């Protein structure tokens, strides 16, 4: 979720927005909700044995006696008899207007009409509706939401109804796998954290960055003119095709290939050092190979540091005739600016605010990292995987927005193979995010941090407005859950900042 919904505290924990539709399951225990069943069963009729498998996993062995199965069997007979128009019968539960409406057809007639396989399946589903809530009640205080999975094959369950006319032949047993809230041990005192962070900027770096932003804004107002009589010079705008191979393996690097990629060589902040220098002098239609070492902060970890050979074909070349920076264009450089000096001042003010926000984010991340470092707890596998998928989706969104990637390239990067590779190569980072979340939720609980009804409502309203402003589809229930998670994270971060000792170092290279 964007900034209006995702607080810097929550961002520090997750380092990503929360997906609007499919979010990771909350780490707190949530009672699982099941459909209303038609057969009532006493808890003492269904027996449950619990086995701790470790790593936040529990197996429930459920035994359903014949008495409960018979009730399910009878319910299926009555249900099918009423819903199916069996020739010669007009059964109605509780009787009907006509004489004979209360007479249930023979079981053999109903089963033969419906089909033995379908009838047995219905009986199993009826039994599960009765017994699963009873089983889950034994772990209601610790089970993770929607984590229960029936481990026994459905065909094996159907064997319980293999008697004459699909009648039950004995006790039905099956197992349920459930993930539970991890048991947390603190290896240090979270009330006395000490962290050191490096400031992302100061007055000098803010001034340099503001100047760069100003120059880029002016260039965006330039007039493009096709170049046909010379090669590319720094400052030109180009349209090019590019792809890359791994020098070591000779294989194409996935996610790099693009067609008609636009690049302003005079203002681009392209995270590929050496690319612009490598294409200087190229003419329209020319193809050139450029050696580039992939940067260490590239979004996909398995590409970082790779020695690559880029193949670049220059499709179009434009000279950008940049206008003179006068007061007449001030408002185009920065909204509501009256003069060039005013535009520069507003850009600098915005840059200072950005630096302050980055410092806050860095501080928050240092705090939650320090908190996670002393939080000893196993990590639920499903939470790790779901969190990883969310992180990858956010990386793709950031690359699309920040680098102008086409949807074709984004779809290539979002392939199941690429996602699985990310889950494998970035597992340590994913696990750190999950551990941060576990630690903050436990802190929130231990310190009994309170959220007022007004605060919660405001968070929900802000979340709703954010989605509606961008026309994004969302699930109301999940939106409410995410709003709760966001405000809890923010409250936990506020508590940490109030109780921790934070040392801020000057920007790199300025000390």
Q: According to the model, what pLDDT value does residue 476 have?
A: 87
Number of neighbouring beta carbons within 10 Å of residue 454: 8
Q: What pLDDT shows up at residue 38?
A: 33
> In terms of Cα–Cα distance, which of 248, 353, 228, 362 is closest to 294?
248
| pLDDT surpasses 60 at 199 | yes
Decide: 350 and 179 in contact? Cβ < 8 Å: no
- Mean pLDDT over residues 441-460, rounded? 92
Q: Does position 29 have pLDDT exceeding 80, yes or no?
A: no
pLDDT digits (tens, 9 = 90+) for 70-85: 999 999 999 998 888 7
User: Mean per-residue pLDDT for 462-467?
Assistant: 85
Section 453-466 average pLDDT: 89
Rg of the chain taking only CA atoms, in angstroms = 31
Q: pLDDT value at position 11?
A: 43
Q: To the nearest whole number, what is the mean pLDDT of the chain?
A: 84
pLDDT confidence of 133, banded at 50, 70, 90? Answer: very high
Find the helix or strand (DSSP H, E) in which 418 lies: helix 416-425
Are 247 and 314 in contact by the 8 Å Cβ rule? The answer is no
Whole-number pLDDT of residue 3? 31
Model confidence at 463, pLDDT cuts 50, 70, 90, reads confident
pLDDT at position 416 is: 86
The confidence score (pLDDT) of residue 86 equals: 82
| Phi and psi, residue 388, nearest 5° | -60, -40
Name the pLDDT band for 98 (thresholds 50, 70, 90).
low
Length of the chain: 511
Helix, strand and coil content of the chain, in percent to the nearest 5, comes to 45, 15, 35
Task: Give the model's pLDDT for residue 23.
Answer: 34
- The pLDDT of residue 172 is above 90: yes
pLDDT-based confidence at residue 101 (cuts at 50, 70, 90): low
Instruction: Please check the confidence at residue 281 and state whether its pLDDT lies above 60.
Output: yes
Residue found by looking up tokens 């590779």 in the block: 421
Other C-beta atoms lying within 10 Å of the C-beta of residue 108: 11
Which tokens sit at 381?
Answer: 């596998």
Q: What would the two tokens of residue 377 be? A: 């707890």
DSSP conformational letter for 280: T
Q: What's the gap between Cα 33 and its chain centre?
A: 23
Mean pLDDT of 123-131: 95
pLDDT score recorded for residue 16? 29
35-72 pLDDT, tens digit each: 333 334 444 489 999 999 988 899 999 999 999 999 99
No. of H helices and E strands in the chain? Answer: 15, 13
pLDDT class for 301, splitting at 50, 70, 90? Answer: confident
* pLDDT 10s digits, 364-385: 999 999 999 999 999 988 889 8
- In the predicted model, is pLDDT for residue 413 greater than 90? no
Whether the pTM exceeds 0.85: the reply is no
pLDDT band at 14 (very low <50, low <70, confident <90, very high): very low
User: pLDDT-derived band of residue 466, with 50, 70 and 90 as boundaries?
Assistant: confident
> With bands split at pLDDT 50, 70 and 90, how would you rate the model's confidence at 408?
confident
Average pLDDT for 264-271: 74
Average pLDDT of the segment spanning 478-487: 86
Give the closest residue to 17 by CA, choosing from 292, 375, 391, 328. 391
């Amino acid at each position: 979720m964007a900034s209006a919904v995702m607080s810097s505290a929550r961002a520090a924990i997750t380092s990503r927005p929360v997906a609007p539709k499919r979010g990771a399951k909350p780490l707190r225990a949530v009672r699982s909700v099941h459909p209303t069943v038609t057969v009532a069963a006493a808890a003492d009729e269904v027996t449950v044995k619990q086995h701790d498998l470790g790593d936040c996993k529990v197996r429930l062995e459920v035994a359903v006696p014949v008495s409960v199965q018979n009730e399910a069997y009878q319910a299926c007979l009555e249900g099918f008899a009423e819903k199916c128009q069996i020739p010669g019968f007009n059964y109605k539960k509780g009787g009907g207007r006509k004489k004979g409406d209360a007479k249930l057809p023979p079981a053999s007639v109903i089963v033969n009409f419906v089909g033995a396989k379908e009838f047995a399946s219905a009986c199993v589903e009826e039994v599960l509706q009765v017994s699963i809530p009873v089983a889950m009640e034994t772990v209601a205080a610790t089970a993770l939401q929607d984590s229960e999975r029936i481990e026994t094959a459905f065909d094996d369950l159907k064997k319980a109804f293999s008697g004459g006319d699909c009648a039950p032949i004995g006790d039905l047993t099956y197992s349920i796998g459930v993930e539970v809230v991890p048991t947390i041990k603190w290896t240090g005192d979270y009330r006395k954290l000490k962290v050191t962070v490096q400031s992302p900027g100061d007055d000098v770096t803010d001034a340099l960055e503001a100047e760069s932003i100003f120059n880029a804004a002016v260039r965006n107002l330039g007039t493009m003119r096709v170049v046909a009589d010379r090669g590319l010079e720094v400052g030109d705008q180009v349209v090019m095709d590019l792809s890359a191979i791994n020098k070591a393996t000779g294989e194409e690097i996935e996610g790099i290939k693009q067609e008609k990629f636009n690049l302003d060589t005079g203002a681009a902040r392209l995270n590929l050092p050496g690319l612009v220098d490598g294409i200087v002098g190229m003419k329209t239609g020319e193809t050139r190979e450029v050696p580039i070492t992939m940067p260490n902060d590239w979004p996909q970890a398995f590409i970082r540091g790779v020695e690559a050979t880029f193949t670049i074909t220059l499709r179009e070349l434009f000279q950008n005739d940049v206008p003179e920076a006068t007061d007449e264009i001030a408002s185009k450089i920065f909204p509501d600016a009256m003069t060039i000096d005013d535009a520069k001042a507003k850009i600098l003010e915005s840059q200072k605010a950005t630096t302050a926000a980055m410092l806050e984010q860095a501080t928050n991340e240092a705090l939650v990292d320090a908190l996670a470092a002393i939080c000893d707890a196993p990590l639920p596998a499903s939470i790790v995987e779901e969190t990883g998928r969310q992180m990858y989706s956010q990386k793709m969104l950031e690359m699309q927005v920040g680098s102008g990637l086409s949807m074709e390239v984004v779809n290539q990067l979002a392939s199941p193979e690429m996602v699985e590779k990310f889950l494998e190569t970035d597992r340590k980072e994913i696990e750190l995010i999950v551990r941060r979340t576990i630690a903050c939720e436990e802190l929130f609980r231990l310190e009994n941090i309170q959220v007022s009804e007004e605060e919660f409502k405001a968070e929900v309203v802000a979340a709703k407005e954010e989605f509606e402003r961008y026309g994004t589809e969302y699930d109301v229930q999940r939106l409410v859950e995410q709003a709760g998670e966001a405000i809890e994270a923010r409250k936990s971060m506020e508590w940490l900042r109030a109780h921790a000792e934070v040392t801020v170092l000057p920007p790199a290279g300025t000390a």
